[in-house]
Amino acid sequence: MSLFRRTQTPPSSPTSVEKPLVSSINDTKSSDTQPKRFRRGGNNPTGLNRFLNVVNPLKTAEKKKYRLLKGTEIGDLAMVKGALNDGADVNTRNDYGRTVLIIASIKGHLEIVRELLSGEGHPGALVDDTIKDDTLDSIYDEKNYDGITALYVASQLGHLEIVRLLLLRGAAVDAADSRRMTPLWVASEKGHLEVVRELLSGEGHQGAAVDAVANNGFAPLQVASWNGHVEVVRELLLRGATVDAANNIGQTPLYIASKRGHLEVVRELLSGEGHPGALIDVALKGISRELEGATPLYIASRMGHLEVVRELLSGQGHPSALIDSATMDGVTPLIIACWAGDIEVVKELLSGEGHPGAAVDASTNNGMTPLKVAATPEIKELLKQAMSKTATGGRRRHYTYAKHQRRTKRKSSTRRKV
C-alpha cells in the first residue's frame, strides 16, 4: 500500500473553464525526442513543445556553426563543405570577431578560402568583411584594429596564393585598418617580397598605392628600410616609391636605414639603379632641437655604424656627405662620434680617405669641441695627433646647420640680389 495515497479524488468531470486546457493536453501525442517524464499517460504540455520548437533549431544552427569554424581552423575541407551544404552561414564569426574567410586566410588554408569564395551551393563569403572585435589580443601580438580584412592578414603573413585569389575575387587592394596600414604596408614591414610584387603588379586587379602613408607617417618604403628588407626596398623603388619621402618627424628612408645600420639598404637607396638615388644631405626638420639638422651621416656616426659611415662618405650617391654638417646646436658627426666613444668611427671621419677629413676643431654653439667631449683617452690621443698634422693646428671651417640652410635658400633663388 502506497504511503502517498491520494486524499482527494479529482472531480468526475471538468468544469467549463477547465475543458479547453484538458482537451489540449489530451490531444498532444508523445514524441521520442521528448524526455520520458513528459510521456506518462500520453500527455505532453504544450509549453514544452513550444520550447523544443525554438531550442532544437538553435542547437542545430550552433552545430553547423561549430562544424564550419572547426573545419576552417584545422583545414578540413570536407567538414567545411558539409557544414556549408547543411546551410551554415558562410560569413559566420568566431568569438574573436573573425569570419571564417579571415580565419582561413590566417591559417593559410588555400582550398578552404577558394571554397568559401566560390558560391557553389551557398552564397560566397564577403571578401572585404573585417574583424569586428577590437577588445581581444590578435595574431599580431597587439590589439585588433578596425578594418583588418582577409587580404590584410594574408599579406602580413605572406600567404601569396591566397593573396592572389583574394585579389582576383575583387578584394580591395588598399583597404586599410584604422591606423591606415594597407596590405602593402604590412607586407613591406614583414619583408614578404613576392606578396609585395603581387600587390603592386596590377595583374587582374588594381595595383596597390606604393606611397600610402600610415598614421605614424611611415610609407611602405620607410618601414621596409627600418626593418632592413633590401629586396622589398628595391622593388618599391622600381615601382615608383618616393625615395626621399619624409615621415612626420622628417626621417627619410636613407636616414632611417642609416640609423638602423642596414648597410645594403643604404647602398640600394644611394645607388640610383632604376630609380632616383637618395639625397645624402637631407636633414631633419621640425623635431627636437638636439636633432634638428641631423643628417644620415650624423645619425650613423652617433649609432656607431662604421660601414654605413664609410658608405655615406664614399660619395656613391652624392658628391659629398657634408662631413661637417652640424645640427642646430652645432654638433657635427665627429663631435657626436667622440662623445659616443666609437674610436673606429672617429678614425674613419678623420681619415680623409676618399673624402675630406672632418674638422677636428669643430665646436658646438656652447664651445664643446671633439677633444672636450671625447669619451676615452684613446680618442683624445687620436684627436691630438690629427691636430698636430694639420698646418692650422686642426682649424678649418666646418659646415654648420645654419650655413646649410642659407645654401639651400640660395639654391632656390633664381637671381642674387644686388
For residue 132, being part of any structural domain is answered with yes
Grouping H, G, I as helix, E, B as strand and the rest as coil, residue 8 is coil
Rounded average pLDDT over 349-354: 84
For residue 28, being part of any structural domain is answered with no
For residue 343, being part of any structural domain is answered with yes
For residue 218, being part of any structural domain is answered with yes
Please tell me the predicted confidence (pLDDT) of residue 21: 35
Looking at the structure, do residues 151 and 163 belong to the same domain, yes or no? yes
Please report, in angstroms and rounded to a whole number, the separation of the first and last CA atoms in the chain: 131
Lowest mean pLDDT among 183-197, 264-278, 298-312, 389-403: 389-403
Q: Tens of pLDDT along 199-233?
A: 999 887 889 999 999 998 999 999 999 999 999 99
Looking at the structure, do residues 275 and 362 belong to the same domain, yes or no? no
Helix orientation angle between 160-168 and 100-107, rounded to the nearest 10 degrees: 140
Q: Is the pLDDT of residue 281 over 90?
A: no
Please tell me the predicted confidence (pLDDT) of residue 44: 54
Q: Residue 358 and residue 377: Cα distance in Å, rounded?
A: 19
Looking at the structure, do residues 311 and 187 belong to the same domain, yes or no? no
Q: What does the block give as the cell for 114? A: 577558394
Looking at the structure, do residues 253 and 297 belong to the same domain, yes or no? no
More confident residue, 279 or 53: 279
Range of the domain at 234: 210-279
Please tell me the predicted confidence (pLDDT) of residue 401: 46
Partners of residue 99 on adjacent β-strands: 93
Please count the structural domains in the chain: 3
Please tell me the predicted confidence (pLDDT) of residue 46: 61
Q: Tens of pLDDT along 353-411?
A: 878 889 998 999 999 999 999 999 999 999 999 888 765 444 444 444 444 444 444 33
Looking at the structure, do residues 169 and 312 belong to the same domain, yes or no? no
Asked if 253 contacts 221 with a C-beta cutoff of 8 angstroms, the reply is yes
pLDDT-derived band at 160, boundaries 50, 70, 90 = very high
Please tell me the predicted confidence (pLDDT) of residue 284: 84
Asked if 344 contacts 386 with a C-beta cutoff of 8 angstroms, the reply is no
DSSP-derived secondary structure letter, 356: P
From 208, 234, 258, the end of a domain falls on 208
For residue 194, being part of any structural domain is answered with yes
Looking at the structure, do residues 331 and 312 belong to the same domain, yes or no? yes
CATH of the domain at 333: 1.25.40.20
Mean pLDDT of the chain: 81
Please tell me the predicted confidence (pLDDT) of residue 58: 52
Q: How many CB atoms are closer than 10 A to CB 348?
A: 23
Question: pTM for the whole thing?
Answer: 0.77
Q: Tens of pLDDT along 227-270?
A: 999 999 999 999 999 999 998 888 999 999 999 999 999 999 99
Looking at the structure, do residues 268 and 359 belong to the same domain, yes or no? no
Q: Tens of pLDDT along 102-148?
A: 999 999 999 999 999 998 888 899 999 998 765 544 444 445 568 89
Percent of the chain with pLDDT over 90: 57
Q: What does the block give as the cell for 345? A: 668611427
From 239, 257, 279, the end of a domain falls on 279
Nearest to 34 by CA among 42, 24, 26: 42
Please tell me the predicted confidence (pLDDT) of residue 59: 58
From 208, 239, 254, the end of a domain falls on 208
Please tell me the predicted confidence (pLDDT) of residue 257: 97
Looking at the structure, do residues 193 and 258 belong to the same domain, yes or no? no
